[in-house]
């Protein structure tokens, strides 16, 4: 009941003409970001973050989170109409969404995608509403060892549970740690890795890195691929919406399963992309129409879209409650909170209760606004992709450059953005993930500070990481996740199937 009362107070905070207007603006900008190739949720939020510095933290986070929801919605438009994923997590949507559009059911496919996205996000927000305060109740128990253990858990789970090569994840994360160390040491006040350059005293701003890695890197890849947009136009009328909504309840099991998968992958560092693929694969395996997947099945659109939105929303839980982001976009929002003078973590629920519940309330209302906007403006946003990519690409690059320059009003930041863009392009070509680098760049110095403070308290005794059940459990779990690939291989050796001795003794005809 306490959570419900707090949520009602949150609605009282956000239900102002200014905040509701920012919701609509954020959703529209987010859908535009999701539709345009080369831009993404993390990059869009990073580019527009400087515009919110003059706003109150509550209004700013409402607008930025709505940009995120809009980008999640927008990725489905390009996937279904043009077979071009606007976002990485929209790849699985193309498998059945585009065939539906080719059959003349583009309106039904888009309605299915948007409604499923809304359902996934709604389930995740309900989870955040009741789970986040429970996590935050540990506020008084967290000291420097506990905070470092949480950071360690995040880094280790990326390495041990991430998709792809652990060594490539380590390379990406190590580069992020190195970049985070540049500048002034917050403990001793000494300069590190500046090489006599005054401009490097402030270090590498994560905003510049994100704009370059995601924005410029994606543009370079898109230019190489030579995108040519050809797809079906779509117009969603009331009749199509009602007919589609009548069919959706029969797939409630798929929606629930996909929501749970998305929530789990959002809280852990899995993210929306693996959640969408995992959900699609399970739906294909468990559905009666599994063999028809890939030919235009509605269930094949429901599964990835529900999971992607649930994961994208749930990723905000560890960011708010523990101060660790579950996705690149959550990492950008984390940096925004720090810029506004707010410290994400358990104490945020105590010190900034109005802000937190205002954000959670905006998640409910923002997704309703998003559903209304996308259902009514699909033809407008779809027509944007008729513009030649040779025109779109320079516009996006200019937007990225403006976003980078406004961070510190320095030309150096534009050159750094271009440098990070080249790194992002190369990393994507050789399949090195970018999210671990962004995570390490945002949290690297904080993890270092927590560890050094813990060592000062314990006079260099690492045993402080097991000094009490809370920090000991988190540290042990972190190390278990770090070595999980090795542990799973060792377990596999002991679980080799035993040969049936009687069958082996039978003569072969």
Report the range of poorest mean pLDDT among 63-67, 118-122, 210-214, 475-479.
210-214
Confidence (pLDDT) at 367: 83
Contact of 96 with 301, CB cutoff 8 Å: yes
Element (H, E) at 184: strand 183-184
In angstroms, the CA 412 to CA 228 distance is 34
Please, what sign has the CA dihedral across residues 65, 336, 318, 14?
Answer: negative
Provide the pLDDT confidence category of residue 136 given band limits of 50, 70 and 90.
Answer: low
Q: H helices within 36-56, ranges in order?
A: 41-48
63 CB-near residues (< 8 Å, 6+ apart): 22, 23, 25, 26, 48, 52, 55
CB 385 within 8 A of CB 35: yes
d(CA 466, CA 361): 38
| pLDDT tens readout for residues 332-374 | 777 777 777 777 776 777 777 777 888 888 888 888 888 888 8
* Residue 138: pLDDT band with limits 50, 70, 90: low
Buried b / exposed e along 3-14 (16+ C-beta atoms within 10 A): eeebbeebeebb
The pLDDT, as a whole number, for residue 312 is 80
Burial of 263 from C-beta contacts in 10 A (0-12 / 13-18 / 19+): buried
Residue 496 or residue 230, greater confidence: 496
User: What are the DSSP calls for 190-248, one per residue?
Assistant: -EES-TT-GGGGG---HHHHHIIIIIIHHHHHHHHHT-----------HHHHHHHHHHG
- The predicted model gives 185-189 an average pLDDT of 74
Structure confidence at residue 475 (pLDDT): 86
pLDDT exceeds 50 at position 260: yes
**Which pLDDT belongs to residue 84?**
63
Closest CA to 304 of 270, 273, 327, 280: 280
Question: Closest by alpha carbon to 230, among 111, 105, 98, 107?
Answer: 98
Among 30, 431, 53, residue whose Cα is nearest residue 207: 53
The answer to whether residue 41 scores a pLDDT higher than 70 is no
Contact 375, 74 (CB under 8 A): no
Q: Is it the case that residue 265 has pLDDT exceeding 80?
A: no
Q: Would the pLDDT of 503 be above 60? A: no
pLDDT band, very low/low/confident/very high, at 148 (cuts 50, 70, 90): confident
Distance separating alpha carbons of residues 271 and 478, to the nearest angstrom: 18
DSSP state at residue 183 = E
Tell me the C-alpha distance between 453 and 258, whole Å: 41
Please state the pTM of the whole predicted model: 0.66
Percent of the chain with pLDDT over 70: 81
**In the predicted model, is pLDDT for residue 226 greater than 70?**
no
DSSP track, 243-299: HHHHHGGGGHHHHHHHHHHHHHHHHSTT-HHHHHHHHHHHHHHHSTTGGGTTSS-TH
Backbone angles phi, psi at 326, to 5 degrees: -100, 0
> Can you tell me the distance from the alpha carbon of 358 to that of 489, in angstroms, rounded to the nearest whole number?
46
Q: Per-residue pLDDT tens for 426-458?
A: 988 888 877 778 778 877 887 888 888 888 888
Per DSSP, 25 falls in state: H
Per DSSP, the chain holds a count of helices (H) and strands (E) of 24, 2
> What tokens does 345 get?
């973590």
């Amino acid at each position: 009941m306490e959570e419900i009362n707090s949520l009602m107070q949150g609605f009282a905070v956000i239900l102002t003409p200014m905040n509701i207007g920012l919701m609509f603006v954020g959703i529209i900008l987010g859908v535009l970001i999701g539709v345009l190739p080369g831009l993404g949720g993390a990059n869009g939020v990073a580019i527009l973050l400087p515009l919110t510095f003059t706003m109150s933290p509550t209004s700013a986070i409402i607008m930025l989170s709505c940009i995120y929801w809009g980008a999640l919605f927008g990725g489905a438009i390009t996937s279904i109409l043009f077979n071009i994923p606007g976002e990485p997590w929209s790849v699985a949507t193309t498998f059945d969404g585009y065939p539906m559009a080719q059959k003349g059911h583009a309106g039904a496919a888009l309605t299915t995608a948007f409604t499923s996205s809304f359902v996934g996000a709604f389930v995740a927000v309900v989870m955040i509403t009741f789970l986040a305060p429970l996590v935050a109740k540990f506020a008084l128990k967290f000291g420097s060892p506990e905070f470092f253990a949480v950071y360690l858990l995040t880094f280790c789970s990326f390495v041990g549970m991430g998709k792809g090569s652990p060594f490539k994840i380590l390379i990406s994360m190590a580069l992020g740690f190195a970049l985070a160390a540049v500048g002034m040491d917050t403990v001793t006040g000494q300069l590190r890795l500046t090489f006599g350059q005054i401009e490097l005293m402030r270090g590498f701003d994560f905003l510049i890195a994100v704009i370059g890695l995601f924005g410029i890197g994606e543009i370079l890849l898109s230019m190489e691929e030579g995108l040519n947009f050809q797809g079906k136009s779509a117009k969603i009328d009331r009749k199509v919406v009602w007919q589609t909504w009548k069919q959706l309840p029969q797939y409630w099991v798929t929606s629930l399963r996909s929501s749970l998968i998305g929530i789990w992958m959002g809280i852990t560092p899995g993210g929306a992309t693996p959640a969408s693929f995992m959900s699609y694969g399970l739906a294909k395996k468990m559905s009666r129409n599994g063999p028809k997947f890939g030919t235009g099945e509605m269930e094949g659109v429901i599964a990835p879209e529900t999971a992607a939105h649930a994961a994208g929303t749930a990723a905000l839980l560890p960011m708010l409650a523990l101060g660790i982001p579950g996705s690149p976009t959550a990492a950008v929002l984390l940096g925004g909170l720090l810029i506004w003078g707010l410290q994400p973590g358990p104490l945020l629920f105590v010190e900034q209760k109005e802000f937190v519940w205002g954000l959670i309330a905006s998640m409910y209302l923002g997704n309703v606004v998003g559903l209304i906007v996308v259902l009514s403006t699909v033809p407008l946003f779809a027509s944007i992709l008729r513009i030649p990519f040779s025109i779109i690409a320079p516009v996006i690059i200019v937007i990225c450059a403006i976003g980078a320059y406004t961070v510190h009003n320095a030309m150096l930041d534009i050159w750094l953005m271009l440098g990070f863009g080249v790194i992002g392009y190369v990393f994507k070509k050789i399949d090195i993930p970018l999210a671990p680098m962004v995570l390490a760049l945002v949290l690297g110095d904080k993890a270092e500070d927590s560890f050094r403070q813990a060592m000062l308290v314990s006079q260099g005794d690492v045993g402080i990481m097991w000094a009490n059940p809370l920090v000991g459990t988190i540290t042990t779990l972190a190390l278990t996740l770090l070595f999980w690939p090795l542990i799973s291989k060792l377990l596999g050796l002991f679980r080799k199937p035993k040969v049936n001795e009687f069958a082996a003794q039978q003569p072969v005809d």
